[in-house]
Amino acid sequence: MAVRLATYSLQSAARSLLLGETGKGTVQATQVHPSELQDRITSEGGAAAYGLQLLEEQGVGAGLQAAIEGALGRIRQLVTTDPVGEVEVKAVSFPNA
């Protein structure tokens, strides 16, 4: 049940960022910053606000940002683009695999 709730929550957040709070429109990024959207839809003192506070206290946001930036950097190391625009994947090795 917890996995399903988390999945629906993430899906709803992504939809809100892409389509706006109403869920109507074309699939393109809105001009709303994620923290602004969070403030709009999170009830003060509610369960989501409490959970977000705990995540922030544990440094989860910084950890996620570091993971995303690190993965993007690794992708740039592994992939090159030739002048025609075709992508070539370099040899991939995984440490401790």
pLDDT bin (cut points 50, 70, 90) of residue 24 is: low
Report pLDDT digits (tens) over 47-89: 888 988 998 899 998 998 899 899 988 888 888 665 555 656 5
pLDDT bin (cut points 50, 70, 90) of residue 27 is: very low
For residue 41, what is the enclosing H or E element? helix 34-41
Contact 37, 16 (CB under 8 A): yes
